[in-house]
Amino acid sequence: AWNACPGGVCIGVISGFQCDCSWFLFLFCVFLFTLVWLYFAIIILNDFHNFNEFIFKQRKLWLDWSLVLLTATAVLITYSAVLWELACRILRAPVTALCPAPQTLLILTALVVAAAFTGLGIKWAEEWRSARTSLQATGPFLHIGIVGGMTLLAWPLASFIYRTRKTGLKVFLLILYCMVMIVLYLAPLGITSPCIMEENQLPPKPALVGHRGAPMLAPENTLMSLQKAVDCNVQVFETDIMVSADGVPFLMHDEELTRTTNVQDVFPERAALNSTAFNWTDLQQLDAGSWFLERRPFPTVQSLSVGDRYRATKQRIPSLKEALEAAKQSNLSIMFDLRPENHSDYQSFVNATLEVILQSGIPLQQVLWLPDGFREQVKQQAPDIQQVYGRKRLQDEKEPLLHVNLPYQDMSFEEIRQYHQDNISVNLYVVNQPWLFSVLWCSGVSSVTTNACQVLKEMKRPIWLLPSSTYLMIWVVVDCASFLAILWAFFLLKYVGSLSSGQVCWGGLYCAPAGCYTLKHGCSCCHPSLN
């Protein structure tokens, strides 16, 4: 039924909820909040395999949680984006209202995103530093995108300002909007990126270190993974060493065997024991490859050939001796951690490992020693082994560091360049995404440890490289275009009129001018012409 409204004023009441402009502000904040979370979700994908491993360690449940993350994020961003798009359409209406369901869901969206950020800060705080690093790769483009988005906001904002009669609100919104735009226009003054440089200043491409081999193409820490790493042209095979109960060093990352072997089937009563509690004969009975096909730790598993799938099922836990022989044949360096460092027999682990290395015949220059425990002993017995440190150099360093191995979050590009100038080799881990590899390449890092050697080996240059003069030109053009578009929006809506007239009910969510009618669920709207 159509009902005339005096003066064409919309009732603006949906199920008892009165118009409240604060809901539009809240909606805008939630939309920005979800956009920021989307950005974080994309950034942390580089490290998400670590999260999957952590969950398995805690719950013995393997799932690619990145799919859950992306799906949930897509739902949140889609919902808030749809609401904000509708809000922008009707922002020019003098009165609006939001029905109870969107209000509740909007609050729920904000709470979910807030909980996600809180959990990130508590359990995965290093990802905040990852975000800081990511801004060096995305900063120039984020600036363009944000300026563009805020420029588009000028249209509904101008329409609303010209229609509302509240002078104080008009002034507040105009001042706030102008301040935000001024900050955005000047933001490039604070944007730094190592990839803003001339082409001839680009450092050499970083060498690749295979993280447990090539774990996207083969079961980690197996001879197949080592060979796949060789096929990717990696220069170093990074692995983890443990020592069996009878003194045989072998390749294994986890303290338990449950994730990467079938120990639950072969030795169910001993499955929860530490990997070092098994003797070598028992370890040789375990299948170290079938889990790779069953759990699919990376999406690349689906694209393996039939031959590679069969080969994966035949993998066994390799001894350090076997790995050294394979590395020697392929002229591949090997870098390793010796686990667990808090074991009571750790010194005997060091002795057993060092003995195997010395007996293998591999050139000691190809061995990169990471463990800190009993390092001085190793230096004395095998001075040609390259010592790699998992820390930054100290001011009072007794002897100069030649090699450091650190998380990529721990070094700024200024530090990387300084280390490079001081002839210190810097290896950063774990680098899987091309955007991150590009930033570190521009920074001058010596090498990176990666799960995705098959991806990074194909990169011939960083994803983007901009001379400073080109970036300056882009900055000026974007800011000028934005300023002119904003002036045009305010001019057009002032002297030509609003983009569309009328008040419409959008699916019962909002109420805006178009004629006065009533829907079954109580949305009433009015049009000035119907009096």
- Distance CA(87)–CA(96), nearest Å, equals 9
If one counts every other C-beta atom within 10 angstroms of the C-beta of residue 384, the result is 10
Q: Which helix (H) or strand (E) holds 155?
A: helix 126-163
From first to last of its 531 residues, the chain has per-residue pLDDT tens of 333 333 333 333 333 333 456 777 888 899 999 999 999 999 999 999 999 999 999 988 899 999 999 999 999 999 998 888 887 776 655 444 455 557 788 899 999 999 999 999 998 999 999 999 999 999 999 999 999 999 999 988 888 888 888 888 889 999 999 999 999 999 999 999 999 999 999 999 999 999 999 999 999 999 999 999 999 999 999 999 999 999 999 999 999 999 999 999 999 999 999 999 999 999 999 999 999 999 999 999 999 999 999 999 999 999 999 999 999 999 999 999 999 999 999 999 999 999 999 999 999 999 999 999 999 999 999 999 999 999 999 888 878 899 999 999 999 999 999 999 999 999 999 999 999 999 999 999 999 999 999 999 999 999 999 999 999 999 999 999 999 999 999 998 877 654 444 444 433 344 444 444 343 344 444 434 333
Q: Which helix (H) or strand (E) holds 479?
A: helix 468-495
- So what's the pLDDT on residue 433? 98
- Distance CA(329)–CA(265), nearest Å, equals 34
If one counts every other C-beta atom within 10 angstroms of the C-beta of residue 114, the result is 12
Say whether 177 sits in a helix, a strand or coil. Answer: helix
Which residue is it, tokens 């820490």? 221
- So what's the pLDDT on residue 99? 54
- Distance CA(524)–CA(32), nearest Å, equals 30
CA torsion through residues 519, 524, 528, 531, sign: positive
- So what's the pLDDT on residue 496? 60
Say whether 123 sits in a helix, a strand or coil. Answer: helix
Which residue is it, tokens 């805020």? 150
- So what's the pLDDT on residue 497? 54
Q: Annotate 406-417 with DSSP letters as a single string.
A: EEGGG--HHHHH
Q: Which helix (H) or strand (E) holds 349?
A: helix 346-360
Residues ≥6 apart with Cβ < 8 Å to 342: none
Quote the tokens at residue 60.
Answer: 């013995």
CA distances from 387 to 333, 360, 399, 400, 500 (A): 13, 19, 12, 11, 71
- So what's the pLDDT on residue 184? 97
Secondary-structure class of domain 208-456 per CATH: alpha beta
Domain boundaries, the chain: 6-196+467-525, 208-456
Among 468, 406, 438, 421, smallest CA distance to 136 is for: 438
- So what's the pLDDT on residue 23? 77
Q: Annotate 38-87 with DSSP letters as a single string.
A: HHHHHHHGGGHHHHHHHHHHHHS----HHHHHHHHHHHHHHHHHHHHHHH
Among 256, 260, 252, 258, smallest CA distance to 293 is for: 260
- So what's the pLDDT on residue 494? 79
Say whether 219 sits in a helix, a strand or coil. Answer: coil
